[in-house]
Amino acid sequence: MIFTRATTELHQHPHELLGDALLGLNDGVATTLVFALSVAGASGSYSPVILAGLAEMLAGGVSMFLGGFVSAQSEKDAAEHQISVEQHEIEYEPEEEREELLQIYREKGFTGRQLTGIVDHLTSDKERWLNSMIRDELLLRPGEFRSPWRVGAAVGISFILGAFVPVFPFLMHFPAAPAIAAVLSLAALFATGAARARYSRRTWLRSGAEMVLVGVIGTLAGLAIGKLLSIHPGG
């Protein structure tokens, strides 16, 4: 492996996994709500919704896990390849790499002896040199790569939890299950949207309202799809 003790991650960033979890929750709620309302409208019965909803919930969770895993693994592989290229160039093309570092710190405003002093210090140790190129040229944090397993689990499990929200009223055989599913889903979407506002410049109210709008569109789409599917010969 390329990484040494100097590139060990000093601290974790749980907010990154939280972002993945919120994404999974939103997808789980929104897609399963459309699915559940579509099946309920087409069948006129709760049993198909429960069976199909649970199947979609679990299948979607597996799909989201695999998608999150592959995405994070691809990012990690690409970063490691870039780092290996830098390591090779430091070893076999040191003058070119030194010039790149000079240019980087020149653009940061350093000049004269201060500039050469910084670059001399950074290039005096190959491990320090590599870490500098990783940060300043590749714009990566040495060693800070998201675990594909954690990303996949965060997205997959949160999707299942989110998908359970619109399925729950049907499982409980509530008389007005479709309406309850819609209300619960909209509330869940508002909550996750508001939580996502913490990592953006939007207010929690605006972010939550935008997710509710997504849910409303999904609810109308689910009802329309169910209505269309219920119109068939022998229906």
Residue type present at position 126 = K
Give me the half-sphere count of Cα atoms (radius 13 Å) on the Cβ side of residue 37. Answer: 27
Q: What pLDDT is recorded for position 144?
A: 72
Report the distance separating Cα 226 and Cα 232, nearest Å. Answer: 11
Q: What pLDDT is recorded for position 143?
A: 67
Report the distance separating Cα 48 and Cα 127, nearest Å. Answer: 60
Report the distance separating Cα 148 and Cα 158, nearest Å. Answer: 15
Report the distance separating Cα 46 and Cα 48, nearest Å. Answer: 6
Report the distance separating Cα 197 and Cα 16, nearest Å. Answer: 14
Tokens of 130: 């590599």
> At which residue do the structure tokens 């390849």 appear?
81
Nearest to 164 by CA among 39, 50, 84, 8: 50
Residues 34-65 pLDDT 10s: 888 888 888 878 899 999 899 999 999 999 99
End-to-end CA distance of the chain: 62
Report the distance separating Cα 19 and Cα 1, nearest Å. Answer: 29
Percent pLDDT > 70 in the chain is: 90
Report the distance separating Cα 205 and Cα 12, nearest Å. Answer: 29
- The pTM of this model reads 0.77
Report the distance separating Cα 28 and Cα 57, nearest Å. Answer: 7
Residue type present at position 190 = F
For the chain, 235 residues long, give each residue's pLDDT as a single digit of tens: 444 433 444 444 446 677 788 888 888 998 898 888 888 888 878 899 999 899 999 999 999 999 999 999 999 899 899 999 999 999 999 999 999 999 999 999 999 999 999 999 999 999 999 999 998 888 887 667 788 999 999 999 999 999 999 999 999 999 899 999 999 999 999 998 888 777 777 788 888 888 889 888 888 888 888 778 877 544 4
Tokens of 123: 């290039």
